[in-house]
């Protein structure tokens, strides 16, 4: 909701433990009770959820919800697309090896302090390596980015036999090709990390931003180039297909709430992120919605007449009072 200064505010209406099975019917029942407790049963028009099948189906069971599709969490959908792309080819093997390097520096005090020493010698900021976590968004990108930033320091420590044994160094060795792939993956994932950050902002991420942000991310950063490694090309294809399907970016006959919101947002009202033909349909749909809620000409005339009559009667009363007091 918006406060008196038009600043978006978020509130937690309830947190409940569900002892029953998390079926669509049970979830829908819980939400209906929550709406009734807050007396908003007739005011809830849409519900944003994650991509789990049970909660998505639960929304379809809510009779009062008018927008029953296309409002799954965009950031969650984006992360699912990224995770699927990172599983294919040799990318997963590279992530595992990178994770082992990070673990080595996390668990070995000798390696950790040696890394700090190398960073200071090279005039680099002292920073720890970051470990990835499947349940933490963008963690693979952050791990690879930090590893790439400290490439020279890490390699110096791994080749220094005072801090790293030969067997450990051999098991953690990264080839030049692998470093090149890490750099390419960082370049690939950076715009998606930025898009996730934008879409997760509490005060700056209305639903109107979803389609423009994701469309531009695909158009500007997921286009396949001739110089791309085959693994990067495949990853781009997977990410583009997954985002397009999960967020329904394809041309559809049904106008969605996100398209309407973009049309009403001054930043995206030109709809240049939408197919050319769709722009006319979205504008026509919004115009039809506004006409449906706008007072008709006959209603307006009635209101005007009623207001004039009240003014006339009120004035007559004043005149009468004036006469009585004279």
Rounded Cα–Cα distance for residues 285 and 60 (Å): 23
Q: Which pTM value belongs to this model?
A: 0.80
Q: Which of 3-12, 120-129, 235-244 has the lowest mean pLDDT?
A: 3-12
Q: Which of 33-37, 44-48, 172-176, 306-310 has the lowest mean pLDDT?
A: 306-310
Reply yes or no on whether the pLDDT at 160 is more than 50.
Answer: yes
Give yes or no for a contact between 196 and 139, defined as CB atoms under 8 angstroms apart: no
Quote the pLDDT of residue 66.
76
Q: Please, which pLDDT band fits residue 67 given cuts at 50, 70 and 90?
A: confident
Taking Cα atoms as reference points, which of 266, 257, 206 lies closest to residue 7? 206
Q: What DSSP character marks residue 207?
A: G
The pLDDT tens digits for 179-226 are 999 999 999 999 999 999 988 876 666 789 999 999 999 999 999 999
Residues 6 or more apart whose CB falls under 8 angstroms from that of 223 comprise 236
Q: Please, which pLDDT band fits residue 277 given cuts at 50, 70 and 90?
A: confident
Q: Please, which pLDDT band fits residue 251 given cuts at 50, 70 and 90?
A: low
Four-residue CA torsion sign, 142, 146, 151, 156: negative
SS (H, E, C) 233-270: HHHHHHHHHHHHHHCCCCCCCCCCHHHHHHHHCCCCCC
Q: Spell 242-262 as b/e; 16+ CB within 10 A means b.
A: bbbebbbbeeeeebbbbbbbb
Give yes or no for a contact between 169 and 44, defined as CB atoms under 8 angstroms apart: no
Rounded Cα–Cα distance for residues 250 and 178 (Å): 35
Residue 59 vs residue 89, higher pLDDT: 59
Quote the pLDDT of residue 181.
95
The pLDDT tens digits for 106-159 are 999 999 999 999 999 999 999 999 999 988 889 999 999 999 999 999 999 999
Taking Cα atoms as reference points, which of 76, 51, 201 lies closest to residue 136? 76
For all residues of the chain together, what is the average pLDDT? 86
């Amino acid at each position: 909701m918006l406060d008196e200064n038009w600043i978006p505010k978020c509130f937690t209406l309830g947190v409940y433990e569900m002892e029953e099975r998390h079926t669509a019917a049970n979830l829908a029942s819980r939400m209906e009770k929550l709406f009734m407790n807050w007396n908003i049963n007739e005011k809830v028009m849409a519900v944003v959820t994650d991509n789990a099948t049970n909660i998505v189906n639960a929304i379809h069971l809510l009779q009062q919800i008018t927008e029953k599709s296309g409002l799954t969490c965009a950031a969650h959908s984006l992360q699912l697309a990224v995770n699927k792309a990172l599983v294919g080819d040799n990318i997963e093997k590279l992530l595992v090896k990178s994770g082992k390097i990070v673990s080595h520096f996390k668990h070995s005090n000798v390696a950790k302090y040696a890394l700090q020493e190398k960073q200071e010698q090279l005039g680099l900021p002292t920073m720890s390596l970051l470990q990835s976590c499947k349940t933490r968004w963008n963690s693979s990108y952050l791990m690879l980015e930090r590893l790439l930033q400290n490439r020279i320091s890490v390699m110096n420590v791994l080749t220094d036999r005072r801090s790293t044994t030969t067997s450990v160094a051999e098991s953690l060795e990264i080839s030049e090709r692998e470093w090149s792939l890490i750099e390419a993956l960082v370049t690939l994932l950076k715009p998606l990390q930025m898009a996730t950050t934008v879409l997760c902002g509490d005060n700056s991420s209305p639903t109107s931003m979803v389609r423009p942000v994701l469309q531009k991310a695909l158009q500007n950063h997921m286009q396949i180039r001739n110089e791309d490694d085959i693994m990067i090309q495949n990853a781009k294809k997977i990410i583009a297909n997954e985002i397009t399907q999960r967020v329904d970016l394809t041309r559809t006959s049904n106008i969605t709430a996100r398209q309407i919101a973009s049309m009403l947002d001054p930043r995206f009202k030109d709809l240049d992120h939408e197919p050319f033909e769709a722009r006319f349909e979205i504008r026509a749909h919004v115009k039809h919605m506004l006409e449906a809620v706008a007072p008709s000409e006959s209603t307006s005339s009635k209101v005007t007449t009623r207001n004039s009559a009240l003014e006339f009667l009120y004035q007559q009363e004043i005149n009468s009072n004036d006469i009585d007091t004279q």
